[in-house]
Copies of this chain bind each other. A is one copy, B any other.
Amino acid sequence: MSLKFSLIQTTPLGGRRAQLDLSHQVVETPVFMPVGTAGSVKAVPQDIVESLGAQLILGNTYHLYLRPGHEAIRRVGGLHRFIGWPRALLTDSGGFQVFSLSQLRKVSDDGVRFRSHLDGSSHFFTPEHSMEVQIALGADIAMAFDECTEYPADRRRAEESLRLTMAWARRSLEHFRGHQHEVVWHDQLGRAQSLFGIVQGGMYHDLRRESAERLVEMDFDGYAIGGLSVGEPRELTLETIADVLPLLPPDKPRYVMGVGYPDEIEQYARMGVDMMDCVLPTRAARHGLLFTSEGRLNIKNKQYAEDQGPPDPACDCMVCHRYSRAYLRHLFQAGEALSGTLNTIHNLAYYMGIMRRVRADLQSVGHRSAAEAPS
């Protein structure tokens, strides 16, 4: 027994208001998951991440495997305990970073040999090893080891990549089922970690369909749509999501990886995506880019040097409450560490606010459509 997923409302457009019941947290969905790459949502203390309403954050297996090492994390009681985060966690498979960050990759059917971007040391990742590492980390949700197909990829390349991802999905699942009891924490309900499969197939509809159908057959605890936000035009992202969603079982959570801008996460959530993650709000914040109800605001701009207004007049986050644009610009210009912290807090508050609003809308639309249905 793993996660429990309970639909509260479904809208005519396919949007779903649900609860994702994980061992460490009942997560209200649709949910946006802040990224905590190396065990920290960069620059923000955990109690503030909590107060922003984050229910589920993401850790990167590749980073944590390299430093401090998954065995060390297992020995200190798993990732929740290590980072002081009692709510839910999800780890990716490490695959994406192996392909995007490491050097000298060599892919075979068995797995990927790569060199660490930190010290050049050589490592070999297989689906089985990814599962071992993720079981040691002990997040509530683990992800199958996949190859994120690049964009553009021609038909032949997308087929070959998908073949690998499908074989690795099966091996991930088998290893996971055989070892998931080894996780360091114990849920009193007897629940363990959950494993999600990842739909690939590039931008080819039939490959995406094949991928989804075969994964559903394998029976994962949830399903992700991967290989998006890799440089494709946004209409393609939307089209792919719209194509794949109906192929996934309605009673299991659906996760679109690596998206997106504020309007994207809202749009996808209203279409029936239950979970999303993206480094955008946190990374952009560290570069001085704020998301606001008035659009994007580049806090570096000279025009804000004496602007006493809050970053976003419509926002009630702790940053907009207390600090001015002039101060945030000064912190950025002066290279103060507080700059990244405050900008990140605001951007996350903005993203969390969007999802709260979308959840409320989905719930009321569902109510309305139920009320309007012929009796």
Copies held by the complex: 2
In A220-252, the 8 Å CB interface with B consists of: none
A95 CB contacts on chain B under 8 angstroms = none
- Count of A residues near B, CB < 8 Å? 42
Chain B's closest residue to A44 (CB) is B338
Q: Which residues of B contact A186 (CB under 8 A)?
A: none
B residues in contact with A72, CB < 8 Å:
305-306, 326
Confirm or deny: A342 has a beta carbon within 8 angstroms of a beta carbon on chain B: yes
Residues of B close to A341: CB separation below 8 A: 43, 45, 337, 341
* CB-contact partner of A308 in B76, B308, B340, under 8 A: B76
Q: Contact check, B331 vs A40: say whether CB atoms are below 8 A apart.
A: yes
User: What residues of B have a CB within 8 angstroms of the CB of A330 in the complex?
Assistant: 38-39, 67-68, 82
A61 → B minimal CB distance (Å): 15
Interface digits, A149-170 against B, CB 8 Å rule (1 contact, 0 not)? 0000000000000000000000
Taking a contact as CB atoms under 8 Å apart, the answer to whether A308 and B43 are in contact is no
A324 on interface, CB distance cutoff 8 Å: yes
Q: Least Cβ distance of A245 to chain B in Å?
A: 36
Q: Does A318 contact B (CB under 8 A)?
A: yes
Interface residues of A in 76-101 (CB under 8 A from B): 76-77, 81-84
Q: Check A336/B42 contact, CB under 8 A, given A47-B322, A323-B84, A326-B82.
A: yes
Expressed in whole angstroms, the Cα–Cα distance for A46 and B342 within the complex equals 10
Q: Mark A23-39, 1 if CB is under 8 A from B, else 0.
A: 00000000000000011
Whole-angstrom distance from the CB of A328 to the nearest CB of chain B?
Answer: 10
Contact (Cβ within 8 A) A68 B305: yes
When A40-B331, A43-B341, A44-B338 are in contact, do A324 and B67 touch as well, CB less than 8 Å?
no
In the complex, the answer to whether A38 meets B334 with C-beta atoms within 8 Å is yes
Nearest residue (CB) in B for A39 is: B330
Please measure, in the bound complex, the distance between the C-alpha atom of A341 and the C-alpha atom of B329, giving whole angstroms: 20
Question: In the bound complex, how far is the Cα of B39 from the Cα of A333, in angstroms?
Answer: 12
A-B contacts, 20 of them at CB < 8 A, read A38-B334, A39-B331, A43-B336, A43-B337, A44-B338, A45-B318, A45-B341, A45-B342, A45-B345, A67-B333, A68-B326, A68-B329, A72-B306, A76-B306, A81-B308, A82-B324, A82-B330, A84-B322, A337-B341, A341-B341
